[in-house]
Amino acid sequence: MFRALDDETRRVILDELAARDGQTLFEICSTLTTRHGLSSTRQAISQHLGVLEAAGLVVTEKRGRSKFHYFNPAPLAEIARRWPVGERTAE
């Protein structure tokens, strides 16, 4: 999962899916180009989505000829449970 989050493009993809879930590859590519000026190929974005899916951060649903991508925050929540962020006191 940390390798998946290490790439800026993948973090932007997750930001966009968190803002609006259920996007197709075409929609994600369009959003990355118009909002973020990222002009990666569809193949490159598809590979980024594959890395995010392998890390469990994106899940997909195929409907007809379209594949929809959804942000899955569960792996990030697991990290927060393991290492909760709280106020620390100086020792």
Q: Indicate whether 90 pLDDT > 80.
A: no
Q: How far is it, in rounded angstroms, from Cα 49 to Cα 45? A: 6
pTM, two decimals, is: 0.86
- Give the pLDDT confidence of 4-52 residue by residue, as tens digits: 999 999 999 999 999 999 999 999 999 999 999 998 999 999 999 999 9
SS (H, E, C) 13-69: HHHHHHHCCCECHHHHHHHHHHHHCCCCCHHHHHHHHHHHHHCCCEEEEEECCEEEE
The tokens of 79 are what? 């990290």
Q: Which residue has the higher pLDDT, 90 or 78?
A: 78
Amino acid at 49: L
Q: Looking up tokens 């007809």, which residue turns up?
A: 64
Is the domain spanning 1-82 CATH 3.40.630.30? The answer is no
Q: Which pLDDT score, from 0 to 100, does residue 80 have?
A: 87
**Domain map (residue ranges) of the chain:** 1-82
